[in-house]
Amino acid sequence: RIADFLPGKATDRGRTAADNRLFVESVLYIARTGCPWRDMPKEFGNWHSAYVRFARWETKGVWDQIAAALQRDADLEELFIDATIVRAHQ
């Protein structure tokens, strides 16, 4: 769902990104675990290159575009409201 918003497509000017999926997975890993970039597993590649790419995408507004696209197409099928977590006045 986000492939059209990622830079580095064959139709974009400049270099074509071969590993957008792996890069996004590495960013999601960092967000999920909260670990520093330096502690990113080697399977995701060089941590510094990933950080620099993350920062470039942030400057370009790529992450904002992705968030906006995912918000427009929100899948609320698995949204549950459980009475045990809803607090209200008596």
Q: Per residue of the chain (90 residues), what is the pLDDT tens digit? A: 777 778 765 565 555 566 888 889 999 999 999 999 999 999 999 999 999 989 988 999 989 988 888 888 677 666 666 666 656 666
> What pLDDT, on the 0 to 100 scale, is given for residue 4?
75
Number of CB atoms found within 10 A of residue 89's CB: 3
- The Cα–Cα gap between 28 and 66 comes to 13
Q: What is the pLDDT of residue 39?
A: 95
